[in-house]
Chain A
Amino acid sequence: MDYFAEKKYYDVIIIGGGITGAGTARDCAMRGLKTLLVERFDFTAGATGRNHGLLHSGARYAVTDKESASECITENMILRRIARHCVEDTGGLFVTLQDDDLGYQAKFVESCRASGINAEVIDPAEARRLEPAVNPGIIGAVRVPDGAVDPFRLTISNVVDAVRNGADVLTFHEVQSLIIVGGKVVGVRMLDKRGKREVEAYSSLVINAAGIWGYLVAKKAGITINMFPAKGALLIFGHRINNMVINRCRKPADADILVPGDTISLIGTTSSRVPYEDIDNMRVTRDEVDVLLREGSLIAPVLANTRIIRAYAGVRPLVAADNDPSGRSISRGIVCLDHASRDGLDGFITITGGKLMTYRLMAEKAVDMACAKLGRNAVCRTAETMLPGSDDMPGYNVKKDCCGGLLPDQQSAVRAATGRHGSLSRHIVCDKESDRAVVCECEQVSVGEIRYAMDQLHADRLVSLRRRTRLGMGTCQGELCACRAAGVMAALGKDPVSTLADLKSFIAERWKGMEAVAWGDTLAEAQLMEWLYVGMCGLDRVPGLSYSKKQ
């Protein structure tokens, strides 16, 4: 049935399928608001999928931004509880290198404690024992409650919960304009990118949660938000180098955080202003790679000789105060704008600034404002209520109930799926022989898990599968399993020509992350990839295949 066959009315429409939008949708739905979440591509396609995946303790901001630091440690403790299947408690170190000022450490520790962050000075020898990858020449070390968080899992878990609580979600729908009647926003006009048609939905309130793209959304309503796109580049290394997060104990600067995540490690970031025209096509430059490698190798010398599998960049939505058009006093804090009082446009809220760590608090602020405007009196419960995947079901036994049908000797696939989906993995059905076949060996993804992601996690493209299941995120970066997964998707009913177009886009996107680091083993892999997909398969010669370079 056509979803738009009849007019759709909501209390709230949320624009943006990153973590902020997903968290806001969850909060709205849990408070009983009739909610629609709209995303122009796939979930986590923007800055949410392009960051460190760092579960900040807040220590990094303690000296320069006490408010952010306090927010971070509070949210850190909440996420460890409500999103434990997305979090890895690695612990973190702030290390002082030989050329750094050890005097900064005392100020740092004092600031951490003032923000409620448990910062413990430890002996450098103890730090080397805890984290053998750290530069052996460190002269100081502080232990903090940093961790790793998987932004893909966290976002989709919020989406799943929003839907459970009654929200509707639309991916690949791009907002073309806001429908404004009598000085009030009453809905959105969207381009359905698959059906290639315009559709509309109506609401009492629209929340703009589109990150840096929120600037462009607001502009559609004639409103200017004083935002500055700040590009942050990162490198992914081919295996997991460190077990703890390693930070450099100095004023925040380029390439001073090394974060472990599942099977890999990440160094980042840089920070540079970029024009709005570029935000949809971020490419990492050779200069940025040089800085990341040079500075990163100071924290962990082994980085200099470790294979880089990918370089990527996200765009932070930095917001300047309304009275500061030059952007000198940029904050990384949360900005929640009521455009009725600010711009005289009713029915429109923008939630921006902030960071991955504080998404839940951002959502809470935005939905508090929304409830006040709608005259609804509902309390936020997102800090106490477990996210799907982290909740225990009565009588649920991971070994017995999860991934029904996987065989006893497929424990690695069971463990991997449970690690990724937590208790949601009970929805993965592998009772047929064909469902048990393993598609991605690096990450142990089965056909059954792919079917689950397609049916229940809104994944109908390879890039979405990668975000939902880690397929192709391991060392091989999907060299062979991308084709295998495309074959599985086609076998499960996707149109073969559009699936091949999807495969072509996936490979093109992969190269985008390799080009800036196209030397050594990475170039060897790229040439093999070209050998496979151009030479052997002729993917460049499939008739009538249009592919996009932006996913």
Chain B
Amino acid sequence: MKYDTIIIGGSEAAFASGLILADAGQKVAVISHGQTFLHCSAASLGLLGYDKDGNPVHNPVEAMAALPDSHPYSKIGVGRVCELAQDVKDLFVRSGIPMHGSYERNHYRMSPIGVFKPAWLSMDTSPVAASPDDVKTWGKVLILGIEGFLDFFAKFIASGLGAIGVNTEIRNISLPELSALRSGSTEKMRATNIARVIVSEKNIEDVALRINIAVESSHADTVVMPAVFGLSDPLFGVRLQSKLKCRLMFVPTMPVSVPGLCAKGRFESRFRQIGGTLFYGDTVSGGEFVDGSLKSVRTLNMAETALYADNFILATGNFINHGLVASPSGVSEPLFGLDIMPFAESGFTGSDFFSRQPYMKCGVATDSDFRVALNGNMINNFYAAGSILGGCDTLKEESGAGVEYISAIAVAKKILEKKGGLK
């Protein structure tokens, strides 16, 4: 089988590059063992939230100038990052997920435990404000939990909001539709299970009624609820909002989160719609390298069939996704044994969990076009994208989503710019 581009991995970078390439008319396949959409779990994406001293960044573009050369943004170039940032927003919009925000000015999102963190793009009904001080415009906030649902931390949110002078009240509503989950021994009261139950127009009416009753008696201006609705409908929140007497905000839960799963579903179905091929539950078992190029790959499920392509993208993620694997003797890339970026840090781990962890910067070795290398030789048609690039501490910087999506689109566009790449 022959493709224009084969993408290995199930990360958000894999889908982002896949969508760009397929949109441009390429024949694209994604081979993935499993999928993770961690960045979308928060319902907000970060571009660059904190500088190297940990201070919040107001203008990401300005702050990028201070990043070291090893940073993926520096490799792409700040001007180009800004262009691609716009593409990321478009990518979501085309997949049916409206995103709000600007790469020139961060806004703030409220985390599941009531902490405000800088953000670049946020989904509809995300709990966001222009600045932490601006949260006061939310007015009185009703923090509304769901009886039996434990992944919503009402007290922490109240404490976080209270610290910035916002008046709050905590209540619970009981949804009779969920009684099966409450007593069930296998299907628990988790966000995605609730979202599978609450889907119909009648469900929305019922939920809206209960919220309105609670809002009325509490005289709240804003209601904050766990993000447990709209698994396959990114506009569920907007529809619910239209039936409410106050502003509605959904606080994302810990993964697997509903916004994350919803985005994944949207990307997947659109990728299929525009002709992309998905090989799920399969793992690449090796590749055939000829004259500095990757000719084909083989997989465990299709052992007899080599999959050929003009270009390949490795988007298997970092340690979390097993795109990188550490052993007592060092770090490796498990599928091809690609070269790893020299490790400049003094130790691999830090004893204080909440300080910087050096291992966060691990990644595969690449050139400035993100082409990977094997045994010291650059592979001219094999690119890396997303968190496997390493080179920065995306968690301390709040830049994980930006690096994930922007590097993926950068690589996809690089492939399209190649002679004969665009069909």
Q: Is residue A344 within 8 Å, beta carbon to beta carbon, of the partner chain?
A: no
Whether the pair A519, B328 counts as a contact (CB closer than 8 A) is yes
| A508-B42 Cα distance, complex, nearest whole Å | 23
Whether the pair A496, B156 counts as a contact (CB closer than 8 A) is yes
Stretch at the interface among A1-9, A117-125, A430-438: A430-438
Contact of B113 among A413, A519, A538 (CB under 8 A): A538
| A201-B219 Cα distance, complex, nearest whole Å | 52
The answer to whether residues A487 and B354 also contact, given A480-B254, A538-B117 and a CB cut-off of 8 A, is: no
The answer to whether residues A541 and B357 also contact, given A409-B185, A535-B398 and a CB cut-off of 8 A, is: no
Q: Is residue B351 within 8 Å, beta carbon to beta carbon, of the partner chain?
A: yes
Q: Is residue A302 within 8 Å, beta carbon to beta carbon, of the partner chain?
A: no
Q: Is residue B41 within 8 Å, beta carbon to beta carbon, of the partner chain?
A: yes
Whether the pair B395, A524 counts as a contact (CB closer than 8 A) is no
Whether the pair A487, B396 counts as a contact (CB closer than 8 A) is no
Minimal beta-carbon separation of B291 from chain A (angstroms) = 35
Minimal beta-carbon separation of B181 from chain A (angstroms) = 10
| A27-B117 Cα distance, complex, nearest whole Å | 54
Q: Is residue B242 within 8 Å, beta carbon to beta carbon, of the partner chain?
A: no
Residues in B80-127 with C-beta less than 8 Å from chain A:
111-113, 115-117
Q: Is residue B304 within 8 Å, beta carbon to beta carbon, of the partner chain?
A: no
Minimal beta-carbon separation of A286 from chain B (angstroms) = 7
Q: Which size class do A's interface residues fall under?
A: 35 or more
Q: Is residue B130 within 8 Å, beta carbon to beta carbon, of the partner chain?
A: no
Minimal beta-carbon separation of B362 from chain A (angstroms) = 10
| A526-B350 Cα distance, complex, nearest whole Å | 12
Whether the pair A433, B395 counts as a contact (CB closer than 8 A) is no
Contact of A535 among B159, B326, B359, B395 (CB under 8 A): B395
| A487-B145 Cα distance, complex, nearest whole Å | 12
Contact of A527 among B155, B320, B398 (CB under 8 A): B320
Q: Is residue A507 within 8 Å, beta carbon to beta carbon, of the partner chain?
A: yes
Contact of B318 among A500, A512, A527 (CB under 8 A): A527
**1/0 per residue B349-364: CB within 8 Å of A?**
1011110010110000
Q: Is residue A180 within 8 Å, beta carbon to beta carbon, of the partner chain?
A: no
Whether the pair B353, A507 counts as a contact (CB closer than 8 A) is yes
Contact of A541 among B115, B151, B327, B348 (CB under 8 A): B115
- B359 contacts across to A, CB distance below 8 A: 518, 523, 527
- A441 contacts across to B, CB distance below 8 A: 188
Whether the pair A539, B188 counts as a contact (CB closer than 8 A) is no
- B351 contacts across to A, CB distance below 8 A: 283, 512, 515
Residues in B223-281 with C-beta less than 8 Å from chain A:
252, 254-255
Minimal beta-carbon separation of A537 from chain B (angstroms) = 5
**1/0 per residue B372-405: CB within 8 Å of A?**
0000000000000000000000111010100000
- A530 contacts across to B, CB distance below 8 A: 353, 357, 360, 395
Residues in B133-174 with C-beta less than 8 Å from chain A:
147-156, 158-160, 163, 174
Q: Is residue B300 within 8 Å, beta carbon to beta carbon, of the partner chain?
A: no
Whether the pair A524, B117 counts as a contact (CB closer than 8 A) is no
Q: Is residue A410 within 8 Å, beta carbon to beta carbon, of the partner chain?
A: yes
Do most interface residues of chain B lie in helix, strand or loop, or is the interface mixed?
Answer: loop
Residues in B165-196 with C-beta less than 8 Å from chain A:
174, 182-185, 188-189
Whether the pair A536, B319 counts as a contact (CB closer than 8 A) is no
Whether the pair A491, B154 counts as a contact (CB closer than 8 A) is yes
Whether the pair A490, B156 counts as a contact (CB closer than 8 A) is yes
Nearest neighbor of B325 in chain A, beta-carbon distance: A520
Whether the pair A520, B254 counts as a contact (CB closer than 8 A) is no
| A283-B155 Cα distance, complex, nearest whole Å | 34
- B315 contacts across to A, CB distance below 8 A: none
Minimal beta-carbon separation of B23 from chain A (angstroms) = 29
Nearest neighbor of A441 in chain B, beta-carbon distance: B188
Nearest neighbor of B401 in chain A, beta-carbon distance: A535
Q: Is residue A484 within 8 Å, beta carbon to beta carbon, of the partner chain?
A: yes
Q: Is residue B38 within 8 Å, beta carbon to beta carbon, of the partner chain?
A: yes
| A398-B202 Cα distance, complex, nearest whole Å | 43
| A499-B116 Cα distance, complex, nearest whole Å | 18
The answer to whether residues A539 and B113 also contact, given A441-B188, A480-B254, A524-B319 and a CB cut-off of 8 A, is: yes
Minimal beta-carbon separation of A43 from chain B (angstroms) = 25
**1/0 per residue A48-72: CB within 8 Å of B?**
0000000000000000000000000
Residues in A491-548 with C-beta less than 8 Å from chain B:
491, 496-497, 499-500, 504, 507-508, 510-512, 515, 518-520, 523-524, 526-532, 534-544
- B154 contacts across to A, CB distance below 8 A: 487, 491
- A434 contacts across to B, CB distance below 8 A: 147-148
Q: Is residue A412 within 8 Å, beta carbon to beta carbon, of the partner chain?
A: yes
Q: Is residue B52 within 8 Å, beta carbon to beta carbon, of the partner chain?
A: no
Whether the pair A524, B322 counts as a contact (CB closer than 8 A) is yes
Whether the pair A411, B185 counts as a contact (CB closer than 8 A) is yes
Whether the pair B326, A511 counts as a contact (CB closer than 8 A) is no
Q: Is residue A488 within 8 Å, beta carbon to beta carbon, of the partner chain?
A: yes
Minimal beta-carbon separation of A82 from chain B (angstroms) = 33
Contact of A531 among B159, B320, B325, B352 (CB under 8 A): B320
Apart from A499-B155, A511-B353, A530-B395, what 13 extra A-B contacts exist at CB < 8 Å?
A409-B183, A409-B184, A433-B182, A437-B149, A437-B182, A487-B151, A490-B153, A490-B155, A500-B156, A512-B351, A518-B349, A524-B319, A527-B320
Chain A residues at the B interface, C-beta cutoff of 8 Å: 283, 286, 290, 407, 409-413, 433-434, 436-439, 441, 447, 480, 483-484, 486-488, 490-491, 496-497, 499-500, 504, 507-508, 510-512, 515, 518-520, 523-524, 526-532, 534-544, 549
Can you list 28 contacts pairing A with B, beta carbon distance less than 8 Å?
A433-B174, A434-B147, A436-B182, A437-B150, A441-B188, A480-B151, A483-B151, A483-B153, A484-B150, A487-B150, A487-B155, A487-B156, A496-B156, A507-B353, A508-B352, A511-B353, A512-B351, A518-B359, A519-B328, A520-B326, A531-B38, A531-B395, A532-B254, A532-B255, A534-B354, A535-B394, A536-B111, A538-B111
Query: Nearest 5 pairs between A and B by C-beta?
Result: A538-B115, A511-B353, A490-B155, A496-B159, A519-B326
